[in-house]
Amino acid sequence: MQDDARLPHLSIYVEYIHKAMHGSDTGAYDAEGRFVPPKFEEIFTKHAKVRPDALTSEEIEEMILANRDPLDPQSWSAPEGEWGLIYKLASDKQGFLHKDSARGIYDGSVFYKLEEQRTSSARSDM
């Protein structure tokens, strides 16, 4: 756990993300924790209908349903929470989760970007 984490129970350690694999995930990480770019791209080629570079909340829900493993119903709730949180954290004001933001979730870079936006917004409010 990080001592400086604002929400220590919500800390995300990208280097261990592969340990959270489940039957209904996207396959964007392999069993050893390596990012699989073709599987990530597949998220958008299969499910991004309104814009090819972004997902709406409805498209995310469609993806979650399409990825459900019928033989592993216990894994069905994990993507709901994961993608729900990703969407809330990184979607824009028009309701789009852009590909670069989603990619940033996978490599951890979006969290630094969100923190930068939060601190710059807090400074402008002063």
Question: Rounded to an integer, what is the distance from CA 21 to the centroid of its chain?
Answer: 13
Give just the sign of the alpha carbon dihedral 112, 117, 123, 126. Answer: negative
Closest CA to 28 of 38, 15, 19: 38
Contact between 33 and 15 (Cβ < 8 Å): yes
pLDDT number for residue 1:
37
Mean pLDDT lowest for which of 44-48, 52-56, 70-74, 116-120?
116-120
The 10s digit of each residue's pLDDT in 13-39 is 667 766 677 778 898 988 888 889 999
pLDDT number for residue 37:
96
The domain locations on the chain are 8-124
